[in-house]
């Protein structure tokens, strides 16, 4: 295997982690990929998101650390991230996609993959083994995914909006809650959206509202955009009548208390206004919003990237099924 083909170089690991096994550093990002023993993997899985796990990033001089372990009939992966532009659980999801069991957070995530399925993938790609597979996948993550920064996206590509179609929301009910009805102004709230399962942290503010979509998904919106987009009502949200897929809730920070939003939410309806520009994605796409440093929306093939007509810096992701249910061409 020539690791240079994927932008990596072979390096010396640290004995407590790799004990002489293969270890590689990526040239373009602060990523290290190492092979470890089953005993070390068990210890790290048990240790979880403790400070000792974070110390490994310092010792390996990296922001992202992928650990690979061959284990009887399965391969285990552990990924650590110390940078918000790459969530640990999302990175592992991109590597093993539909054939792995994944759990974790934005910092610490683990995955288990059938060795038989993985070997089939390796043979199909004509690779030499497991480590070459993950070097290739790590390189592909950074090179083949779209990374879109809303703050300067259209400035760098001024004509790209011509490839988007224009849509408006259908006249169906949404729901909203003022963020200060959830927590006092200044208190932090964690919103876990469909495009960011780890959650986006916001501060409760009179000018910030929480929206509830057609499936029960939640996201935040500024008051001026809410008022220009929706007509409010006094009608209460009825989760059974609206047939939401799951109950909308947020989490308080740092105590981790879950707060259900259904009893405090009121319905609202879209105004026939400016609408959005949107296009369907043909590859995995990460959109970093202009107003939240580090956090990002994740779009997969078939989802839609949307741009508000009245604010071309407001770029976000809408899942495919939600988009088709809630938007129509103008």
**How do residues 53-82 score in pLDDT, each as one tens digit?**
889 999 999 999 999 999 889 999 999 999
The tokens of 79 are what? 């990924």
Q: What percent of the chain has pLDDT over 90?
A: 68
Domain coordinates of the chain in residue numbers? 3-144, 148-329
* pLDDT at residue 234 in the model: 92
Residue 172 has pLDDT above 80, yes or no: yes
Write out pLDDT tens, residues 216-231: 888 899 999 999 999 9
Q: pLDDT tier at 156 (50, 70, 90 boundaries)?
A: confident
Residue 71: what pLDDT? 83
Q: Is the pLDDT of residue 104 over 70?
A: yes
Residue 131, classed as helix, strand or coil, is helix
Report strand pairing: 146-149 vs 285-288.
parallel
Q: What is the pLDDT of residues 173-214, one digit of tens each?
A: 999 999 999 999 999 998 877 667 777 888 999 999 999 988
In this prediction, residue 262 carries a pLDDT of: 84
Q: Which tens digits make up the pLDDT trace of 284-305?
A: 999 999 887 778 999 999 999 9
Greater model confidence, 253 or 134 = 134
Give the pLDDT confidence score for residue 158 in this predicted structure: 82
Q: How far apart are CA 183 and CA 180, in angstroms?
A: 5
Q: What is the mean pLDDT of the chain?
A: 91
Give the Cα separation of 330 and 315 in Å (integer): 19
Q: How far, in whole angstroms, is CA 38 from its chain's centroid?
A: 29
Confidence of residue 243 (pLDDT cuts 50, 70, 90): low
CATH of 3-144, one of 3.90.870.10, 3.30.413.10, 3.90.25.10, 3.10.310.20: 3.10.310.20
Q: Encode 232-271: b = buried (16+ Cβ within 10 Å), e = exposed.
A: eeeeebebeebebeeebbbbbbeeeeeeebbebbbbbebe
Burial (CB < 10 A; 0-12, 13-18, 19+), residue 131, is buried
pLDDT of 314 strictly over 90: yes
């Amino acid at each position: 295997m020539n690791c240079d083909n994927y932008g990596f170089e072979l390096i010396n690991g640290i004995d407590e982690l790799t004990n002489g096994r293969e270890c590689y550093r990526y040239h373009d990002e602060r990523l290290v990929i190492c092979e470890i023993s089953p005993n070390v993997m068990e210890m790290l899985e048990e240790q979880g998101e403790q400070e000792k796990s974070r110390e490994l990033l310092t010792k390996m001089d990296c922001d992202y650390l992928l650990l690979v372990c061959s284990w009887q009939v399965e391969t285990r992966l552990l990924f650590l991230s110390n940078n918000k532009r790459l969530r640990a659980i999302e990175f592992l999801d991109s590597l093993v996609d539909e054939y792995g069991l994944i759990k974790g957070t934005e910092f610490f995530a683990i995955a288990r993959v059938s060795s038989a399925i993985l070997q089939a993938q390796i043979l199909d790609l004509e690779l030499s083994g497991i480590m070459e597979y993950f070097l290739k996948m790590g390189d592909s993550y950074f090179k083949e995914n779209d990374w879109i920064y809303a703050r300067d996206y259209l400035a760098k590509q001024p004509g790209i909006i011509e490839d988007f179609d224009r849509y408006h929301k259908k006249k169906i009910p949404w729901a909203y809650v003022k963020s200060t009805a959830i927590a006092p102004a200044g208190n932090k709230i964690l919103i876990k959206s469909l495009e960011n399962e780890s959650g986006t942290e916001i501060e409760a503010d009179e000018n910030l509202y929480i929206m509830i979509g057609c499936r029960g998904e939640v996201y935040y919106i500024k008051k001026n955009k809410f008022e220009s987009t929706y007509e409010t009502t006094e009608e209460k949200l009825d989760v059974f009548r609206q047939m939401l897929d799951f109950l909308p809730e947020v989490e308080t920070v740092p105590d981790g208390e879950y707060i259900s939003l259904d009893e405090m939410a009121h319905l609202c309806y879209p105004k026939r206004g400016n609408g959005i520009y949107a296009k369907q994605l043909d590859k995995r796409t990460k959109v970093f919003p202009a107003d939240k440093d580090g956090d990002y929306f994740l779009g997969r093939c078939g989802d839609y990237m949307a741009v508000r007509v009245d604010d071309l810096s407001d770029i976000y992701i809408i899942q495919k099924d939600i988009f088709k249910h809630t938007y129509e061409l103008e």
